[in-house]
Amino acid sequence: MKSILITGGAGFIGSNFVPYFAAKYPDYFLVNLDLLTYAGDLANLREMAGVKNYAFVKGDIGDAALVSALFARYDFDGVIHFAAESHVDNSIANPRAFVETNVLGAFTLLDAARAHWRGEKRRFHHISTDEVYGSLGATGLFTEATPYAPNSPYSASKAASDMLARAFHHTYGIDATISNCSNNYGPKQHAEKLIPTIIRKALSGENIPLYGDGKNVRDWLYVLDHCRAIDLIFHRGAAGETYNIGGKNERTNLEIVAAICAVLDERRPRAVSYKEQITFVADRPGHDRRYAIDATKLATRLGWQAQESFDTGIVKTVEWYLAASGGECSIQLPRPSGRG
Ligand SMILES: NC(=O)c1ccc[n+]([C@@H]2O[C@H](COP(=O)([O-])OP(=O)(O)OC[C@H]3O[C@@H](n4cnc5c(N)ncnc54)[C@H](O)[C@@H]3O)[C@@H](O)[C@H]2O)c1
């Protein structure tokens, strides 16, 4: 039985990935290391209760003694690294936490892999974001050759961790792969992020806040399509390579809000459309204008294709939040958000 360390498995993407991966690979033993920060929630992993090939460990990826002890105890055959501080707005308010977790935490994991694997070819997959590439103009796509130009403390910290993964491959022979993905959407996302915020505000009759003119463009990917891409890269990606992941679903934030309001108008009709609640608020400092991903390398080399269209994915997503909230979103949110 192979043992795999998954970090950040109680967060949004990790908690979609863990049940998918455990079901697909019943002969793997998964160890989920998560600090359960405000962004992690074991309720996201209820379906893992009683699953035999799974263990949860509460702890910090930056705790070198803990990480080393886990490597020694489980003799990991691979690492899939999700854990991060992930919210751009928070990185503007408190950048230190982003450097500590995203940079030093990634370093701690890579260094443990270096010490324990001693040159053996075991896969370390590092999950990153398209935000490392900066902002696009009206045209063009991010490819794996696009120079890094991070604009927020979040994207800068992710860029630094990508570089560490790359350097540990070239310097120490760690069998590292990196993926840079566009904005994810789907079940289990934290209440602070754009889509849960829109749904909650719409249902509670509050203003739906949109940064600036609402025309910032993101390339949206259904979270399970991201999970399937990570699975492919972890198993079949080439060592030292980076793969971009994106769904070719460019939408302005205004279009995202309109799509959600249209689903709500149908599922929870009211006298006036939910769109009437849209309110434009002061833009985020340094707000990147447009992200769009060219995922040709992943498609041609590993055969990945997104399975969910935006139109079906957004309906599934809204329905999940409606079911989770019993129709009245009760999750609290401190401020408006612009990141997936
Ligand atoms: N959400 C997106 O749209 C998106 C897009 C591209 C890439 N990513 C990347 O995917 C990964 C997961 O993103 P997400 O949206 O699921 O994030 P999230 O904020 O929902 O979850 C992060 C998880 O990491 C855990 N964590 C935070 N600090 C930790 C620490 N020091 N030690 C251990 N665990 C810690 C949290 O408790 C939480 O469970 C991140 O690396 C992020 O940069 C996210």
Domains and CATH numbers, the chain: 2-184+221-245 (3.40.50.720)
pLDDT of residue 1: 83
Report the distance separating Cα 226 and Cα 129, nearest Å.
11
Calculate the average pLDDT of the chain.
94
Report the distance separating Cα 162 and Cα 64, nearest Å.
19
Q: Which residues line ligand 1 (CB under 6 A)?
A: 7-8, 10-14, 33-37, 39-40, 60-62, 82-86, 101, 105, 127, 129, 158, 181, 183-184, 190, 340
- Neighbour-count burial of 192, counting CB atoms closer than 10 A to its CB (0-12 exposed, 13-18 middle, 19+ buried): buried
Q: Is 31 helix (H, G, I), strand (E, B) or coil?
A: strand
Catalytic entry in 34, 60, 89, 130: 130
DSSP 142: B
Cβ(81)–Cβ(176) below 8 Å: no
Catalytic entry in 131, 192, 250, 288: 131
DSSP β-ladder status, 2-7 and 28-34: parallel
How many angstroms does the Cα of residue 162 sit away from the middle of ligand 1? 14
pLDDT of residue 330: 43
pLDDT of residue 59: 98
Q: Which residue has a Cα nearest atom 6 of ligand 1? A: 129
**Please, what sign has the CA dihedral across residues 25, 28, 29, 35?**
negative
pLDDT of residue 82: 98
Which amino acid appears at position 221 of this protein? L
Pocket test for ligand 1, best of 13, 45, 127 (most atoms within 8 A of CB): 13
pLDDT of residue 221: 98
Catalytic (active site) residue 77? no
What is the tens place of the pLDDT at every residue in 309-339? 999 999 999 999 999 876 444 443 333 333 4
pLDDT of residue 340: 39
- Kindly provide the b/e burial profile for residues 194-217, where b requires at least 16 CB atoms within 10 angstroms of the residue's own CB: bbbbbbbbbbeeeebbbbeebebb
Q: What is the pTM of this model?
A: 0.94
Catalytic entry in 54, 85, 89, 154: 154
The rounded average pLDDT for each run of 10 residues, N- to C-terminus, in the chain (340 residues) is 96 98 97 97 96 97 98 98 96 97 98 95 97 94 98 97 98 98 96 93 95 94 98 98 96 96 96 96 90 97 97 96 69 36
pLDDT of residue 336: 31
